[in-house]
Amino acid sequence: MPNSESVPSLLNSFTDKWSPRLVVAINDHHVKVAKIDGEFIWHAHPNSDELFYLLEGKLTIELEGHDDVAMQVGDMFVVPKGVRHRPVAEEASIMMIEHESTINTGDETSSDRTIQVKDARRQY
């Protein structure tokens, strides 16, 4: 049985932006953390809701057809599946939860922002 994973230690272990790290898997879902800054691309996830939990910094989730969601540290927001959105951050650290099959750029699969999640789980 593995030990617990430290989210603060994991966040201290990397500096690159928009490159999610897998913290743990639960059922068919992945819990990830990422550091993000500036604007991402507009995209949607057709097959999964996407949870954002703001750990540090500032984050606004822009949503097609809806008001922006301005998040404070400690806030949590779920983008429903299929809703086009764009995160805009200021030196933010975030936790994300979504189905394990979810791609960071969603339906924009040919974007140069598309990136593989790095598995940061400790090996036992």
Q: Which listed residue (14, 18, 42, 77) binds a copy of itself by CB under 8 A? A: 77
**Exposed, middle or buried: residue 76 (CB in 10 Å: 0-12, 13-18, 19+)?**
exposed
Does 69 participate in binding a copy of itself (rule CB under 8 A)? yes
The residue among 16 and 64 lying less far from a copy of itself, judged by its C-beta, is 64
15 binds a copy of itself (CB under 8 A): no
Dist CA 112 CA 109 (whole Å): 9
Closest CA to 91 of 48, 52, 50, 34: 34
CA distance 35 to 93: 4
Contacting range for a copy of itself; rule: CB under 8 A; set: 13-21, 49-57, 103-111, 112-120: 49-57
Stretch that binds a copy of itself, among 20-28, 35-43, 86-94, 108-116 (CB under 8 A): 20-28
Q: What's the min distance (Å) between Cβ of 80 and a copy of itself?
A: 8
What value, to the nearest 5°, has the Cα angle with vertex 104 and ends 103 and 110?
75
Query: Which one of residues 16, 39, 56, 75 is an interface residue with a copy of itself (CB under 8 A)?
Result: 75
